[in-house]
Each structure stands twice: as C-alpha cells, then as structure tokens.
C-alpha cells in the first residue's frame, strides 16, 4: 500500500505537503558498468503523489510548482520515509551526495483537477543516479566512475605483433545548481591517466579519442605495432634501402643507399645526415673485412627536402663503387648489416621526441576544457557555444624587393665559385729530322695486282693483312704500295734538345666577383716563359653571362701558352678554388 505521512520530500525548492503526500513507489536499480563486473551507481526512481489546494485557485501556484518539478539537477530530499535511508539528500550545496549524470531528472508530472479550480492531484516521478557504498562515502567529483577496455592481438606472417587497445571512461558530473550552464569537468581531463604503457620494441602507430555530447564519456583507441629495429633518437619515422649490382665489364660493384627520415622538432637535418653517413661508412667499409686489397669510392651524394611545406622530412642517397669479387657481392657491400645501437638506443628513443606516443596529445597537445562547452537551454538566455580560437594573421611582406635582397646575399669570395675546370696540356717538339739514304739500284714499282683479284672480289682488309692474304681470298698480293722491300731503311736524327711548351687551359663561372687571368710561375722547378700566339688560339676571355637575383654571374675561359727552358720534373695538378677547400 502507498506510504503516507512522515518524513520530508522536496525538490528544487518545492516541498510536498506532509499531510497530503503519498509515496506510490521507490525503486533502486543497480546499474553495472559495461564489463558487468561492478555497480557504478544505483538508479533511484521515486514515484509520489500529492494534492495541491488553494481556495483562490491553483493556476498560478501550479505553474510555479510545475517549473520546479520539471527542472534538471535540482536539490532532492527524501528522508524518513521508511525506506531504510535516514536521509537521501542529493545535490545539496556542500553536501556529500551528488547525482552522477546531470540529474536528478524528473520524468513525469501528471496533473488532475479536483474540486473545480481549488485543488488538483499531482503525480510526480524523478530519477536520481547515486553511488551507494557499503563502507564510507563515494567520490562524486574529479574522478573516473567507469573504465572499461578491450585488447585485440594479431600477428602477421613475419611474426610481428599488433595490439589494439580500445575502451572508454565515464566521469560523474552534474550541474552545480539548476540553471548553471558551465561544466565542472570533462572526461578529457583524465586522458593521460588511462594511456596504456608501450611494450619494448613497439611503436604507437595511431591513437584516437572521442568525447560524447555530455563530455562525461571519452572513447579511445590505441594501436601499437612491433618494429624490428630501433630508429635514431628524435626520429619519428625512418625508411632505408640498399641496391647493389655487379658491373661485369669493369669488375667492380656499384651500390646505392637511400634513406628517408621524418624529424622531430628536437633534431636538425645535419644530425640525421651524420647518422646516415655513419650507416654508409659501416656498410661500405665491410669490403675491408671480407676482401683482401678491397676498397671503395663514394662518387655521388644527394640530399633532398621533399616536403618543404609539409612534414619535416629529409631524403639522403649515396652511391659508391667497391672493388671486390662477385662472390663477396652481398657481404662486402654491407647488405643486411645490423644497425647496432650506438645511435639507435631503445631507451633514448622512447624518451625522445621521436616517440610521439610519449605525449598522448601529440604535437598540438589538444585538450578539451570545461570552459570549451556550455549547456544550451532555451529558458536561460541561450548563448552560442564557444567558438574555436582563430588563427594568427600572418605578417605579409609588402616589399618584394626587400624579400629578394634577403635571399640573394653577396657570397664570400671563397664560396662564390660555381664552376672551375683547369688542366695542363704539354706540347713537345723533339727536333727530329728524317734522313733517307739513296738506294743502290733503281726503285721499281710493281705495276699490277694479282690476276686473281677483280673488283667483285675485293674485300676490306686490316693493315696486317696486306701482302699476307692468300690468293683467291680477295686480298692483295705483294708489298705495301707495290714497292720492293729491298730499299734501305730511313734514319731518324735528333738535331737538338726537345722544345717543351705547356698550355694552361680552363673555364670557370663565379657569382658576384670577377675572374682573374691565371698564370704559371714554374712547373716542376722550371720557370715558365709566356709564349702566347694569337694565331694559335692563345688568350683569355671573360664576360657577364647571367644575373641571380641581382648578383652578377661571370664566366671566363682561357688558353695560355708557356715555354720551358728545360725539361721539368713532376708537373703536379693545377689547383682548384672549389675542390681544394673541400674534403
């Protein structure tokens, strides 16, 4: 039968009359978490009935009561009603018990007039969600109410594992008072507390989180994949490959090593360039260990920045040739060489910015704060939700010429050379004379070819075939030119010491500076004497050939002839302002 009389029942400032108050029913439904392992709160459903009486009519009074009894998150009192609870006081300012889901929430308000307009029966149902503990009080704020997750494991055909960690958290929250729009907390505030630890040699390839409309629930997914090798410190992503081919004609191997790195903000391109060179050296120098007399030569090195406006990525490529045998092609060129941990340390990488999972909120560190949302209610002067922060307006340049000047700075004299080629050409006059002794007998010329040779049977022959081809084979019969071999030999006579000339030739291109005419002082300890001849093409030519953003580009070409009074020793190699300063 309905419970009458004693105790107090009030909500949102309205107290049900004790003498006309009846409890139709009260239910306590345990509500489990998603795993079904624990009760996260008790759902109380209070169903009461009362009679409102006013001799002047109930219209105005009932309108005020109805507003109070239909509002959310009001202060609820239900005590001394024989339900075994000394006092169920929910959402009392400063009190210990609070609804955990933006309640209490009235469900039904039924009204039935009795006695014309002087009285009416009111039937009211309200739901409150409150934890109930066996010992001690529950925690209602600044904590996690529900934390459930699932874990899925998979293994690829190479044996490497993948783990997907997904679940959700729910926090308790209600309004601090009816009509208050601001939130007290969000589930996103607890995100760091539920991020799973990363197993060794695993990388967090993706992480996703999503707040629901109430901001009390946060769903998350973490995907971790096993990596076979550790990346360089502060490197987010890396990929490298090597190709080696055997040059049969030349007898050496040609290898190309390519690597692409995505850098964090804590590392520069030069650091990864050094890491690449260390890997290159370790692989290329394997030829010393496996091949007796082996050697290698790096002859191409390329660095590329593929995404200037995108991610911080650098691509490096190197090509080298190694003097090894075909049998040692793989090992001598360092293929499948272990990287080692001298620059790829697991602990260092896990603690570096390369491990983006180290900060679960990523580079931008996005966080949803309670002030980023409000409760929109048409009865409480509705306002639009907060707008996202606007981006900073860039400071655009209005003087393009100034921008070009900042780019095109005058180079240093040492670094202004764009191209420089110079070489020595030696000309030696041996001062020889060819002497021809007179023959003892008349010179007779063989007047006819072999009768077996016709125009249709002549063939092209090598010089060594002349006079030796057998008859009938389409060749010649006799001596060169038809002359007899009985003539005396010629005599080569040297009349003086040889005359030695040196021609200095070259060409160059330079930015921002003129190109001077090079000169030779001496070669191999012998003084060089100028001996230019215009009819022999000697001279020096220079001129302006271009303009690079205001910097003149100068080119020059030269051919300068010198005589050497005596034979020089070792001549050496002409210097270069480009290659002489580079190692």
Could you tell me the strand order of the sheet in which 21-32 lies? 3-4, 21-32, 39-53, 119-130, 105-114
- On whether both 199 and 126 belong to a single domain, the answer is no
Is the same domain home to 298 and 185?
no
Domain count, the chain: 4
In a domain, residue 438? The reply is no
Inside any domain, residue 315: yes
Residue 167 has pLDDT above 90, yes or no: yes
Tell me the pLDDT tens digit for each residue of 347-386. 666 666 556 555 677 666 777 777 777 777 666 665 565 6
Residue 476 located in a structural domain = no
What CATH number does the domain containing 113 carry? 2.40.30
Q: Using omega within 30 degrees of 0 as the cis cutoff, is the peptide bond preceding 104 cis?
A: yes
88 part of a folded domain: yes
pLDDT tens, residue by residue, 82-113: 665 556 889 988 888 899 999 899 988 888 87
Give me the residues paired with residue 121 across strands: 51, 112
Tens digit of pLDDT for each residue in 284-343? 888 777 777 667 778 788 999 998 888 889 999 998 888 777 777 888 778 887 765 445
In a domain, 163, yes or no: yes
Contact 476, 463 (CB under 8 A): no
Residue 171 lies in a domain: yes
Return the structure tokens found at 432. 């020889």
**Segment (H or E) for 252:** strand 252-263
3-state secondary structure of 106: strand
- Whether this prediction's pTM lies above 0.85 is answered by no
The per-residue pLDDT for 469 is 43
Tell me, yes or no, whether 125 lies in a domain: yes
Q: Are 466 and 458 in contact (CB under 8 A)?
A: no
Question: Are the CB atoms for 117 and 58 separated by under 8 Å?
Answer: yes
Q: 3-state SS of 427-478?
A: EEECCEEEECCCCCCCCCECCCCCCCCCCCCCCCCCHHHCCCCCCCCCCCCC
- pLDDT over 70 at 344, yes or no: no
Q: How confident is the model at residue 402 (pLDDT cuts 50, 70, 90)?
A: very low
151 and 125 within one domain: no
- Cβ pair 233, 345 in contact under 8 A: yes
Range of the domain at 214: 146-228+366-372
Residues 251 and 344 both lie in one domain: yes
Task: State the SS3 of 8-70.
Answer: EEEECCEECCHHHEEEEEEEEEEEECCCCCCEEEEEEEEEEEEEEECCCCCHHHHHHHHHHHC
> Order of strands across the sheet with 146-155?
146-155, 161-170, 217-226, 202-211
Paired strand residues for 161: 155
Which pLDDT belongs to residue 138? 79
Query: What pLDDT was estimated at residue 383?
Result: 59
* pLDDT per position as a tens digit, 563-583: 998 888 777 788 888 776 543
Q: Per-residue pLDDT averaged across 248-273, rounded?
A: 80
Residue 180 lies in a domain: yes
- Domain check: are 423 and 569 in the same one? yes
What's the burial of 215, exposed, middle or buried (CB within 10 Å: 0-12/13-18/19+)? buried
């Amino acid at each position: 039968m309905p419970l009458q009389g004693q105790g107090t029942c009030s909500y949102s400032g309205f107290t049900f009359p004790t003498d006309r108050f009846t409890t139709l029913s009260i239910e306590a439904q345990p509500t489990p978490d998603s795993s079904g392992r624990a009760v996260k709160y008790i759902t109380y459903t209070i169903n009461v009935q009362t009679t409102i009486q006013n001799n002047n009519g109930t219209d105005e009074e009932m309108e005020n009561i109805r507003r109070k009894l239909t509002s959310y998150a009001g202060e609820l009192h239900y005590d001394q009603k024989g339900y075994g609870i000394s006092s169920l006081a929910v959402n009392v300012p400063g009190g210990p018990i609070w609804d955990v889901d933006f309640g209490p929430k009235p469900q039904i308000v039924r009204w039935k007039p009795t006695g014309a307009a002087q009285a009416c029966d009111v039937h009211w149902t309200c739901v409150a969600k409150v934890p109930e503990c066996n010992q001690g009080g529950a925690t209602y704020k600044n904590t996690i109410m529900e934390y459930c997750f699932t874990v899925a494991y998979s293994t690829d055909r190479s044996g490497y594992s993948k783990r997907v960690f997904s679940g959700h958290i729910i926090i308790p929250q209600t309004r601090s008072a009816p009509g208050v729009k601001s939130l007290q907390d969000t589930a996103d505030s607890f995100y760091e507390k539920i991020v799973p630890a990363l197993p060794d040699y695993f990388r967090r390839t993706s992480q996703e989180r999503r707040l629901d409309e109430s901001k009390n629930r946060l769903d998350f997914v973490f995907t971790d994949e096993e990596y076979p090798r550790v990346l360089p410190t502060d490197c987010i992503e890396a990929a490298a490959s090597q190709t080696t081919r055997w040059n049969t004609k030349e007898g050496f191997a040609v290898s190309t090593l390519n690597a692409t790195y995505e850098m964090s903000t804590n590392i520069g391109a030069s650091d990864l360039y050094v890491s690449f060179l260390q890997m290159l050296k370790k692989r290329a120098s394997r030829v010393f260990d496996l091949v007796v007399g082996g050697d290698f030569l790096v002859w191409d090195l390329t660095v590329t920045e593929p995404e200037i406006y995108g991610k911080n990525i650098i691509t490096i490529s190197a090509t080298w040739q190694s003097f090894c045998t075909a049998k040692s092609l793989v090992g001598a060129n360092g293929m499948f060489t272990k990287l080692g941990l001298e620059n790829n340390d697991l602990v260092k990488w896990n603690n570096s910015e390369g491990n983006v999972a180290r900060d679960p909120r990523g580079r931008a560190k996005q966080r949803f704060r309670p002030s980023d949302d409000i409760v929109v209610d048409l009865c409480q002067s509705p306002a639009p939700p907060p707008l996202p922060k606007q981006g900073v307006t860039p400071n655009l340049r209005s003087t393009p010429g100034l921008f070009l000047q900042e780019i095109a700075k005058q180079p240093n004299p040492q670094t202004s050379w764009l191209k420089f080629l110079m070489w020595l050409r030696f000309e030696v006059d041996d001062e020889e004379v060819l002497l021809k002794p007179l023959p003892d007998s008349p010179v007779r010329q063989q007047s006819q070819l072999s009768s077996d040779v016709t125009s249709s049977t002549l063939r092209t022959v090598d010089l060594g075939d002349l006079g030796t081809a057998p008859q009938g084979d389409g060749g010649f019969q006799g001596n060169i030119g038809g002359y007899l071999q009985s003539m005396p030999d010629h005599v080569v006579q040297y009349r003086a010491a040889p005359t030695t000339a040196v021609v200095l030739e070259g060409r160059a291109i330079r930015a921002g500076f003129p190109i001077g005419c090079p000169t030779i002082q001496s070669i191999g300890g012998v003084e060089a004497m100028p001996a230019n001849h215009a009819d022999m093409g000697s001279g020096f030519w220079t001129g302006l050939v271009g303009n690079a953003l205001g910097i003149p580009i100068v080119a020059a070409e030269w051919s300068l002839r010198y005589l050497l009074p005596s034979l020089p020793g070792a001549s050496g190699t002409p210097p270069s302002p480009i290659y002489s300063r580079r190692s």
